[in-house]
Amino acid sequence: MNVIKAFVDLRRKTFSRLFISIFILITLLLFFKYHSYQNKAKLNKKLSNIINVSPQYFCKTETRLKFNHRLETADKYLYSRFDSPEIYPESVSFPQTPQNNLNSSEYSNRPKRKNRFFFAMNLYNNEENIPYITQELTLVLKHLGPENVFLSIYENNSDDKTKDLLNHFKVSLKTLGFRFLIITDDATRPEMYHRIEYLAGLRNKALAPLFEETSLGYKYHKIIFINDIIFCKNDILELIYQSDLQKSDITVPIDVFVTGKPEHLEFRDTWVARDLNGKPIAGGLDNLISHKASAKRYNQGLPFQVQCGWNGAAVLNAKPFLGHNPLRFRRSNIDTNECSASECSLLCNDFWKLGLRRIVIVPNILVGYKKEHIPFIDHYIQKFIKTSSSLPEKISYKDGPKKILCIGLDKNNTYHPDNKSKWIKYVHGNTKVV
């Protein structure tokens, strides 16, 4: 009897333990499923059509709408639309389709265009900005048309929702019929690295599809490289327009950050930007430009010539990136003791060496990197709504400076420049601009 009783007790304990284990397992599965659902819900919320949150969405504020109206004077962006027969800025008269309503069926029977645009981006831990970036970038791509654009995004090592958001963006782009390559990579930065060499490598990965595109017979006229900035559709269209109007080789906006007490906007990309005196562009926006002729144009909100600029986004002449021995981003040449400037500064210098010397800043296009900076940008662009210009919009190009002030970054594992500034020659021979 004792043996039978012990056996029955053992079975009861075994079934009890099994039941408890199954209960715990089911509870855990339900918990993880709920947690996954919550994360997906949050992700979908980020990907929802935020443009409908009108007053809070910075591309739909009252100030921005007035600014857009001024930018679109004389329908100057119509020439670049997918259904326009024009290639360069001209007065074109045909009805404008609301951009938000464009879909893939509306691209049928459009005229063949000659200009193509290669968009490139690098992203890293940009979860907060991506919904805004993808919203406005899609509008830009729709404006230009699927057959005229290619989008390349290279992301690596993000530990937020960046990869998930980009995977959702892929689905949207595919539905709209766009050609693209979005890579989400787990590659990490090496323990020992040189900042500029590393960044140049990342930018070149975003440019990598150009090789295959060329082999497939696609010829791109402009490369539009965009940092992880927050922007509106017309910001990019204005840069494209000015690059055509000014016949410039590099065309960039003004990128900003908020600092000081009281808080105000200051120019951000000081390490790269150089004026026609060869000096860094730095400081608050009200008295930003020291080169006198450029300052006159800047104060009237007109594009002005510089020796170099990047400033968060750049519309680049694609020609040097194509064909044999194509140009790429790089670090300084150690063998020649070249000043160890930013990869973007070195790109400017390489453009100069190739005779591509028309570099332009468009001062009424302001971009930032954080949502918190947007109200300051929104407030500042009011001046451009009211500003009238007495000078011509088209630039009369001048020769570049003989030397530029370079601040090098030599050490590994260093973020900021660590060398004293020095004046250097950046091109062999003259600095004539034609």
Q: What is the pLDDT along the chain (434 residues), one digit of tens a residue?
A: 555 555 445 556 566 666 666 767 776 666 655 555 555 455 445 444 433 433 458 899 999 999 999 999 989 999 999 999 888 886 444 333 344 344 545 544 554 556 999 999 999 999 999 999 999 999 999 999 999 999 999 999 999 999 999 999 999 999 999 999 999 999 999 999 999 999 999 999 999 999 999 999 999 999 999 999 999 999 999 999 999 999 999 999 999 999 999 999 999 999 999 999 999 999 999 999 999 999 999 999 999 999 999 999 999 999 999 988 999 999 999 999 999 999 999 999 999 999 999 999 999 999 999 999 999 999 999 999 988 899 999 999 999 999 999 999 999 999 899 999 999 999 999 999 99
DSSP strand pairing (149-156 vs 117-123): parallel
- For residue 344, what are its two tokens? 């973007």
Picking from 98, 97, 90, 95, the residue whose alpha carbon sits closest to that of residue 74 is 90
User: Which pTM does this prediction carry?
Assistant: 0.85
CA–CA distance, 51 with 64 (Å, rounded to integer): 13
CATH, domain range 47-93+111-424: 3.90.550.10
Q: Which residues are 133's β-sheet partners?
A: none
C-alpha distances out from residue 155 to 124, 159, 210, 231, Å? 6, 11, 17, 19
